[in-house]
Amino acid sequence: MKKIAIVLIIAVLSVGLIGCDTKKSKPTVTAKIVVAKLETPTKHLYFAGTIQPIKTVSILSPVEGRIEKLNFVYGQGVKQGQVLAVVNSLKLMDDFRTAVGAYLSKKTAYLNQAQTFDGTKVLYKAGVIDKENFQNAQSQYENSVLDFFQQEYELQKVLSKANIKASVIEKLNITDVEKIKKLYASALNHIKIKALTSGVALFPLPSQGEGDSGGDNDSDGDGGSGNIAVGSKIREGQLVLSIGNLSGFSIDMQVNEVSVNSLHDGMAATVTGDAFPGVNLKGLITYVASQAQPSQGGASASVFKVTVTVPHVTAQELKTIHVGMTAKVDIAIKGVPRVMVPINAVHEKNGTRYVTVIESNAHKEVPVITGATTPTGVAIVSGVKEGQRVYVPE
């Protein structure tokens, strides 16, 4: 009897343990009910670019010569009106002498022809000379006028390079050329190149300015592009430096052909960078190229230039953000308003997607067509209406 009782106790305990184990292994299913809402899905496109000034002004040499003085350092700030460089130009002196001499010569010829033509008009009216002689005299006078004004224009071009007023030369006679040459020798030999705006002095790039020197790349500094130094030979029209306006920034990006149609002028952009953590610059797309960039390195995919402009930056931001730094650009693309449900609310059976809705306290599976997906939800193109209650397993 005692043995039977022990067996029964063991059997009861075994059944109890098995029951406990069954309860522990049974999965717990939780769910929630949400209301489908009409929302505008947003996706983000990310691009990389380089920080550049919002505007760049090129400073070109007005004359040919050699750099005598440099009063700036590349990468540092310059002020509007500041003398950036002084150029010693012997060629300008020769051009000045030639232009003044030719101008005064044409001026003398013009005045003489004017006086002669005045006399011819009197004689023609008096009937002393015939019409043919009168017309010849008139033609000579008109040619002298054209020659004079043409040479006056050439002189003004030379004088503007040396900042000499044309009115000073206009009062001279041909015998005064050497006197004027001595008077303006210093101004003609030492041409000052001034900053047209305030900003930062940027290194010239090979693509800027008049172009490469084209061959005479000798040891005395006869270069086209590139930074200049004291003693360097410089050409007329050659880029001395570029001045960057740092009141804002510009970022050029390369966008592939798949994404470019999603972008347009005026779209908001957020600019960040590893070099300036915690700073979020607010910008706008200001340019979207209509033509792809020329392919490089055999690349098959087409890319388009897109520019984002940050119109304003603070003095505090300028302490940590510098020209040439790498930037990340985040552009939010808003889609068409759609009914949105949590991602877990959608399940698939036999290739068809379903959402379980609650109608009259009963669960009903309805087929749906889904659209764009966000990190937290999915757009429902059809199948679920705004305001319907949706079953969401967790």
- pLDDT at 13 (0 to 100): 47
- pLDDT at 145 (0 to 100): 93
Residues 204 and 208: their CA atoms lie apart, in Å, by 6
Q: What CATH number does the domain located at 337-393 have?
A: 2.40.420.20
Length of the chain: 394
- pLDDT at 223 (0 to 100): 45
User: Which of 8-12, 13-17, 184-188, 356-360 reaches the highest mean pLDDT?
Assistant: 356-360
Task: For the domain made up of 45-51+246-334, give the CATH fold.
Answer: Elongation Factor Tu (Ef-tu); domain 3 (2.40.30)
- pLDDT at 104 (0 to 100): 84
For the chain, what are the domain ranges? 45-51+246-334, 68-89+187-243, 91-177, 337-393
Q: Is the four-CA dihedral 334, 337, 342, 345 of positive or negative sign? A: negative
For residue 275, the Cα-to-chain-centroid distance in whole angstroms is 20
CA angle 284, 319, 283 (to 5 degrees): 5
pLDDT (tens digit, 9 = 90+) per residue, 67-85?
999 999 988 889 999 999 9
The number of beta carbons lying within 10 Å of the beta carbon of residue 310 is 22
pLDDT (tens digit, 9 = 90+) per residue, 231-287?
889 999 999 889 999 999 999 999 999 899 999 999 999 999 999 999 999 999 999
Across the chain, what does the average pLDDT equal?
Answer: 83
pLDDT (tens digit, 9 = 90+) per residue, 318-350?
999 999 999 999 999 888 888 999 999 999 999
The structure tokens listed for 266 are 């005026």
- Whether pLDDT at 206 is above 80: no
The structure tokens listed for 300 are 């098959």
Distances (CA, A) of 28 to 25, 238, 365, 393: 9, 79, 22, 11
Distances (CA, A) of 284 to 52, 276, 287, 308, 320: 15, 19, 9, 5, 21
389, β-bridge pairs: 35, 358
Quote the pTM value.
0.63
- Whether pLDDT at 355 is above 90: yes
Between these two residues, 14 and 367, which has the higher pLDDT value? 367
Could you please report the per-residue DSSP string of 106-163? HHHHHHHHHHHHHHHHHHHHHTSS-HHHHHHHHHHHHHHHHHHHHHHHHHHHHHHHHT
Closest residue by Cα to residue 392 from 365, 355, 359: 355
- The residue type at 122: V
